[in-house]
Structure 1
Amino acid sequence: PAPAAGPPPVSPGPPAPPAVIVLDDGQRIEVRTVALLGRRPQPRPDEVVEVLVSMDDFARSVSKTHARLRWDGQVGWLVDRGSTNGTAVQDATGRRTVGQDLEEQVLPGQQVHLGHRSFVLEVAPAGPGGVA
């Protein structure tokens, strides 16, 4: 007898949509994996980062490398990188401070505060082109 056929191979689904960081000045930055945010963000020597998000801040409330955002395809995960003025996520219950050692969940639509600057995390629209 012929060997039994196994289950058909599973084809991967469409890739997860990227996140979009919408800065308070209107700038939009697409992120598929990891972003560093700050005045002049720099990755650590062993760190792999997709995008560096430079934020102008004449008041210097944003640290050089202020925070790290990791996008998992559905939600963001934020870590403060030892900033002077802190990082916080605004949700329905108020502001919650983001620690330096623990990733804090950021849902699409929530506002993140880095010093006196902020951004909203969004999901890029499906389809070709994504972010305009």
Structure 2
Amino acid sequence: MNCQICGAELPSDALFCGECGSSTSATPQSRQRTDARPTDTTVIQPIRPRQTTGIVSISLDAPTAPTEPAAEAPAGTEPAVSEPRSAVSGISFVLQFSTGETFDVSGSGLIGRRPLPAANERFDHLVQITDAGRSVSKTHLEFGQHDGELWVCDRGSGNGTVLRRADGTVTLCEAGRRYLAGRGTRVEIGEQFFVVA
């Protein structure tokens, strides 16, 4: 007697195949089962194609360029923007948020509900925005400058970052990659956004 599934030779009194573990009465037809739950999975959101537009690919673990440390807030308060201790070289940008908040920034920084740099990081600004719905991550994105233009980098946020540039192009930001955000660009972070001016 042979196993009808794998073809192994079996003793005449065997109940199961010693090679594949199938029952001696199993047949290839009996092993083919129909899907009992053909519609148990729902696609929540269609998968978007990966965007490759960006100026520099970097790892989230890559150290940032050293800058002057951010000023610390007094105990019990949370700074909306930390002022740099010395003048930062570079161009100034105005970030106009959908929450009504406006921040004048230059150099580098973090944006989020409660932005917090890693132990080895230093930034010129910590921009804390109001988001009652908590769609913005605590440390949602990083920004800096490259050749006089502002760039943004998603820090692995829960709801992602989308750039809507003045020319109409839309870019879904890949976490850990820097993207230029020229003046007039709308940067969407969760349910909030800011415009670079």
Retained in 1: the 8 A contact 2:136–2:192?
A: yes
What is the alpha-carbon distance in structure 2 between the residues aligned to residue 70 and residue 16 of structure 1? 10
1:59 to 121, 133, 143: 133
Extract unaligned runs of 5+ from structure 1.
Answer: 1-14, 123-132
1:85 to 153, 159, 169: 159
2:180 to 94, 105, 115: 105
Residue 43, structure 1, aligned to residue 121, structure 2: no
| Residues 39-87 of structure 1 deviation map (CA, whole Å, 9 limit, x = unaligned) | 1000111111111111111111100100001134631111101101000
What is the alpha-carbon distance in structure 2 between the residues aligned to residue 73 and residue 82 of structure 1? 25
RMSD of aligned C-alpha atoms? 1.5
**Which amino acid letter does the alignment assign opposite residue 125 of structure 2?**
V
Alignment of 1:29-40 (within 5 A): 29-40=103-114
Residue 22, structure 1, aligned to residue 96, structure 2: yes
Structure 2 counterpart SS, 1:68: strand
The count of aligned residue pairs is 108
Larger radius of gyration: 2
**Which amino acid letter does the alignment assign opposite residue 57 of structure 1?**
D
Extract unaligned runs of 5+ from structure 2.
Answer: 1-88
Percentage of identical aligned residues? 31
Retained in 1: the 8 A contact 2:101–2:129?
A: no
Paired position in structure 1 for 2:59: none
Larger RCO (CA within 8 A; separation ≥ 6): 1
What is the alpha-carbon distance in structure 1 between the residues aligned to residue 163 and residue 191 of structure 2? 13
Further displaced range: 95-104 or 62-71: 95-104
1:96 to 141, 150, 171: 171
What is the alpha-carbon distance in structure 1 between the residues aligned to residue 107 and residue 147 of structure 2? 8
What is the alpha-carbon distance in structure 1 between the residues aligned to residue 196 and residue 159 of structure 2? 20
